[in-house]
Amino acid sequence: MNLNDKYFNLCYTKRIHEFAKIDSFKKWEKGQAKEKYRTIDDFYLDELQIDLENLKELRNLFKQYDELYRRYRQNNIERNELFSDYKKLLKWYNDQNECCNYCQISQADLFKIVSARNGNLTLNQKTKRSKGTLEIEKLNPNVGYTPENSVLACPFCNNAKSNLISENDWRTFFTPAMKEYFKNILADENR
């Protein structure tokens, strides 16, 4: 395992961010990590045999992955497979240009709509979906979150399509309307 993979394993697979996790990872008695290390960083330096500069470089290297992890994976265990290989995850994400896979609206345009609606995408002030972040949608709901079966989708497409309309039917019947709808909102925005 190279250094990047080792870091990834500790930070995202084993999710070692507290002393108790170190104890169980090292198969130590409870409390031993706390005696040995002053901070969690000290554990990383020791375990990876690197200095603080190297650790900063590693964190920087995983910056985009970390952002995506916080946004989409955090407590969503179902998405483990999609996030288990950081190179594949970043390729999967970046290949989509931060656009809805159906209607092609970009993340930047979604944020424009959010600010046009005074900071809340939803019309009834409910917080879910209010920030206008692109969501991860499974093309085939009966298959897991693999890179092949997952796409970015805007909250509009994802919510309206739901599990009632198939991927192909959504593209055929509703995507053109979505595009028109957004064109209209964004034209108002620019006026």
Binders of Zn ion: how many residues, by CB under 5 A?
A: 5
Interaction of residue 102 with Zn ion, rule CB under 5 A:
yes
**Residue 37 DSSP class:** -
Interaction of residue 157 with Zn ion, rule CB under 5 A:
yes
Q: Write the CA distances from 67 to 12, 40, 60, 125, integer angstroms.
A: 12, 20, 11, 25
Residue 139: how many other CB atoms lie within 10 Å? 15
User: Among residues 7 and 102, whose Cβ is nearest to Zn ion?
Assistant: 102
Interaction of residue 44 with Zn ion, rule CB under 5 A:
no
**Selected range binding Zn ion among 21-29, 35-43, 65-73, 147-155, rule: CB under 5 A:** 147-155
Query: Are the C-beta atoms of residues 98 and 171 closer than 8 Å to each other?
Result: no
User: Among residues 114 and 154, whose Cβ is nearest to Zn ion?
Assistant: 154
In the list 33, 82, 100, 136, the residue contacting Zn ion (rule: CB under 5 A) is 100
Interaction of residue 182 with Zn ion, rule CB under 5 A:
no
How many Å from the N-terminal Cα to the C-terminal Cα in the chain?
Answer: 55
Please choose, from the candidates 132, 136, 172, 133, the residue with its C-alpha nearest in 3D space to the C-alpha of residue 151.
136
**Selected range binding Zn ion among 82-90, 99-107, 135-143, 144-152, rule: CB under 5 A:** 99-107
Distance between CA atoms of 64 and 134, rounded to whole angstroms? Answer: 15
Interaction of residue 152 with Zn ion, rule CB under 5 A:
no
Interaction of residue 136 with Zn ion, rule CB under 5 A:
no
Distance between CA atoms of 111 and 131, rounded to whole angstroms? Answer: 8
In the list 10, 89, 103, 134, the residue contacting Zn ion (rule: CB under 5 A) is 103
Question: Which residue ranges make up the site for Zn ion (CB under 5 A)?
Answer: 100, 102-103, 154, 157
